[in-house]
Amino acid sequence: MAADIFTLGIDVGSTTSKCLILGNGEEIISSAIIPAGTGTSGPGRALEAALSEAMLSRQDIAAVTATGYGRNSFEGADYIVSELSCHAIGAHAMFPDAKTVIDIGGQDAKAISIENGKLGSFVMNDKCAAGTGRFLDVMARVLELDVSELAEKDAMAGRVIPISSTCTVFAESEVISQLSKNVDICDLVAGIHASVAVRTASLVRRLGLTPPLAMTGGVAQNAGIVRALSKELGEEISVSPLCQLAGAYGAAIHGFNKLKGRK
Ligand code: ADP
């Protein structure tokens, strides 16, 4: 049956704008990821791209739900919801059995427990760049790589070169110093990933490690991080190809539930 109720979720992130349109609360009709976040043209472009792919106009959308770091600056939202709630809802839709969600975005990292398909409790790091996408963005730049290339380098590592500094600025100096010794870049990438994994694992342990685990956010696209974190926690971690869209997905589901009068 063709969808007749369309809801749209927009996740106005710190670095990236994500938009997803859902039909009847279930079917993903279209989505867009624009690498420009809050305070830029990114949110508007993501919205337009998702509408255009779906061949819909704003008037066809029954509810727009904004989430993410810049959600309050987005004009025209029917609902505004925290990204913690939306990641919980989105992750639950992707992995109905997941009890704990790890979301690493551009400038924060969160461990979220899911209770009855919704946000339970959470622990987050939004004070320090280490352990977030920002840390990986900085390291990739020093290594003259794109973040999307980190996973394949990690997969070719013969050993892990430990990064001892926890501060991003000092860790960057440490990586530069290692590069000057002509070490294998793959081993260095494995060390960078291990350092993010240790920090993220401590967030998860503070929340309470309750499997099954799922990971959302842009950094979950990095299979090297997922592998290192899985090793650190001793648990498998499920990741969807839609991981970066989890917040927008959850927002679109939230909008549909509101229309249906569901809690
Ligand atoms: P935010 O909502 O804060 O903007 P996202 O959840 O969209 O954050 O994640 C952004 C981060 O995802 C970037 O900082 C980057 O490190 C990472 N990222 C984006 N694309 C990729 C990719 N293809 N491979 C690995 N990491 C990626």
Q: Are residues 118 and 214 in the same domain?
A: yes
For the chain, what is the domain count?
A: 2
Q: Are residues 135 and 234 in the same domain?
A: yes
Kindly state if the Cβ of 68 falls inside 6 Å of ligand 1: yes
Bridge partners, residue 33, by sequence: 18
Q: What is the pLDDT of residues 87-109, one digit of tens each?
A: 999 999 999 999 999 999 999 99
Q: Are residues 117 and 35 in the same domain?
A: no
Q: Are residues 68 and 13 in the same domain?
A: yes
Residuewise pLDDT in 10s, the chain (263 residues)? 567 899 999 999 999 999 999 999 999 999 999 999 999 999 999 999 999 999 999 999 999 999 999 999 999 999 999 999 999 999 999 999 999 999 999 999 999 999 999 999 999 998 889 999 999 999 999 999 999 999 999 999 999 999 998 898 999 999 999 999 999 999 999 999 999 999 999 999 999 999 999 999 999 999 999 999 999 999 999 999 999 999 999 999 999 999 988 76
Q: Which amino acid is at 90?
A: G
Q: Are residues 188 and 250 in the same domain?
A: no
- What is the CA(6)–ligand 1 centre distance, in A? 27
CB burial class (10 A; 0-12, 13-18, 19+) of residue 187? middle
Question: Residue 109 sits in a domain of what CATH number?
Answer: 3.30.420.40
> Which tokens sit at 137?
């963005």
C-alpha of 259 from chain center = 26
Q: Are residues 83 and 123 in the same domain?
A: no
Best substitution site from 74, 125, 222 to test ligand 1's pocket, by max atoms within 8 Å of Cβ? 222
Q: Are residues 83 and 131 in the same domain?
A: no
Q: Are residues 114 and 171 in the same domain?
A: yes
Kindly state if the Cβ of 147 falls inside 6 Å of ligand 1: yes
Name which of 5, 146, 126 is nearest 63 in CA terms.
5
Q: Are residues 193 and 71 in the same domain?
A: no
Q: Are residues 12 and 110 in the same domain?
A: no
Kindly state if the Cβ of 221 falls inside 6 Å of ligand 1: yes
Q: What is the pLDDT of residues 12-44, one digit of tens each?
A: 999 999 999 999 999 999 999 999 999 999 999
Distance CA 29, CA 181 (A): 50
- What is the CA(35)–ligand 1 centre distance, in A? 8
Q: Domain containing 180: what range?
A: 98-239
- What is the CA(49)–ligand 1 centre distance, in A? 19
Q: Are residues 109 and 233 in the same domain?
A: yes
Distance CA 168, CA 162 (A): 14
DSSP the chain: -----EEEEEEE-SS-EEEEEEETTTEEEEEEEES--TTSSHHHHHHHHHHHHHT--GGGEEEEEEESTTGGG-TT-SEE--HHHHHHHHHHHH-TT--EEEEE-SS-EEEEEEETTEEEEEEEE-S-STTSHHHHHHHHHHTT--GGGHHHHHHT-SS-------SHHHHHHHHHHHHHTT--HHHHHHHHHHHHHHHHHHHHHHH---SSEEEESGGGG-HHHHHHHHHHHTS-EEE-TTGGGHHHHHHHHHHHHHHTT--
CA within 13 Å, CB half, 173:
6
Best substitution site from 15, 110, 240 to test ligand 1's pocket, by max atoms within 8 Å of Cβ? 15
Q: Is residue 1 part of a domain?
A: no
pTM, to two decimals:
0.96
